[in-house]
Each structure stands twice: as C-alpha cells, then as structure tokens.
Amino acid sequence: MAGALKTTVYLDAKDYERLKEIARADGRAPAEVVREAVAEYTQRHRPQRMPKSIGIGHSGRGDVSERAEELLAGFGRAK
C-alpha cells in the first residue's frame, strides 16, 4: 500500500460487527474490506468529465436549435 494515508472512521456498533463478520468470512482484515468499499464508492460517485469537444462548434447564432431541421435538410445525400 504505497502512499496510503491513515484516517479514523466511526461506525455504528451493528455495522462494525457486520464488517468484522464479512471480513472473517472472506479471510481478510476489516480494514481491507473498508478500503475496497471506499474504492468502489468513490469510483461510482466520481464527477463525470464532459468531452472536450462539447461547445467547440459555437456558431455565434442563437437560432440553430430552432432551425435544426431546416439546416440539416439534404444532409448526407449525394449531390
């Protein structure tokens, strides 16, 4: 665990007992189970990054979305 940091977490007594049961059943230390749970949680709740391409095609016009069908008429057809 290179670069690991230490923290203190206060758990409800019932949660702590359940944590120990889970760890014991898996043959692991409770701290290892907590680290795994935190890693999964932070992965699921990490901020979603927007693609850099969003907004790069700013036309300078305010009516593009209202005129989308008109502007795209014939798009993709061979000339």
**Model confidence over 6-53: pLDDT tens digits?**
999 999 999 999 999 999 999 999 999 999 999 999 999 988 888 888
Is 16 among the domain residues? Answer: yes
Separation of CA 74 from chain center: 39
Q: Are 55 and 45 in contact (CB under 8 A)?
A: no
Output the pLDDT for position 78.
77
Output the pLDDT for position 22.
97
Is 72 among the domain residues? Answer: no
Which amino acid appears at position 75 of this protein? Answer: F
SS (H, E, C) 1-46: CCCCCCCCCCCCHHHHHHHHHHHHHHCCCHHHHHHHHHHHHHHHCC
Can you give the residue range of the structural domain that contains 25? Answer: 8-47
Output the pLDDT for position 68.
87
Output the pLDDT for position 60.
79
Phi and psi at 37, nearest 5°, equal -65, -40
Domain count, the chain: 1
Is 18 among the domain residues? Answer: yes
Output the pLDDT for position 52.
81
Higher-pLDDT residue of 79 and 65 is 65
Is 29 among the domain residues? Answer: yes
